[in-house]
Amino acid sequence: YFDSCANVPSTVRLVTKRNAYLYQANSGLFAGANSDDINRLFVYNAATQTLQAQGNGQCLGVYMSGNSPVLQLRACDSSANLKWSIDAATRKVKTLNNICLDVDPTNASRAAQVWTCFANNDNQVIDVVPY
């Protein structure tokens, strides 16, 4: 059985502008040094627009807490809040609602977060690097 190459899920690493690698730990997403382990690998499926952490098999999603978007890792399904697009031109990983994956280097816990996408926000520059 053959399919279009565009439909084949890609194993990737998510690397910030400051060269921190995103990784899954328990139910959270954090940024830290590079290491060759499964927790720093994600599968992006362009057909379903999901980003799945390989460490625990959960998908990155966003939910709203009042007016604030919150990043979550949860079971993968077809929900709209699990859909992400990768904008190679702006180097942003974002939802359909213009919410971007964001890593603030001043956050002591090194936890990743989500925030409204802004054009010149270095915290939102994330390269999706094939593994």
Residue-level pLDDT at 40: 98
Report if residue 12 sits inside a domain.
yes
Question: Structural domain of residue 28, as residue ranges?
Answer: 5-123
Q: Is residue 129 part of a domain?
A: no
On whether residue 103 sits in a domain, the answer given is yes
Tokens 């007016």 locate to 67
* Residue from 77, 39, 78, 73 nearest 58 by CA: 73
Task: Return the pLDDT at 51.
Answer: 98
Supply the pLDDT for residue 1. 55
- Please report the pLDDT score of residue 7 as a whole number: 66
Closest CA to 14 of 118, 119, 106, 101: 101
Name the phi and psi angles at 98, rounded to 5: 60, 40
Instruction: Indicate the Cα dihedral angle 118, 119, 123, 124, nearest 10°.
Output: 80
Q: What is the pLDDT of residue 8?
A: 75
CB atoms within 10 A of CB 85: 12
Per-residue pLDDT of the chain (131 residues; tens, 9 = 90+): 566 666 678 999 999 999 999 999 998 999 999 999 999 999 999 999 999 999 999 999 999 999 999 999 999 999 999 999 999 999 999 998 999 999 999 999 999 999 999 999 999 999 999 99
pTM of the model: 0.92
Q: Which CATH number does the domain housing residue 64 bear?
A: 2.80.10.50
**110 in any annotated domain:** yes
Strands 50-53, 68-74: parallel, antiparallel or unpaired by DSSP? unpaired
Cα angle for residues 97, 98, 100 (degrees, 5° grid): 120
Number of domains in the chain: 1
What are the helix (H) ranges across 19-130?
Answer: none
- Give the pLDDT confidence score for residue 3 in this predicted structure: 65
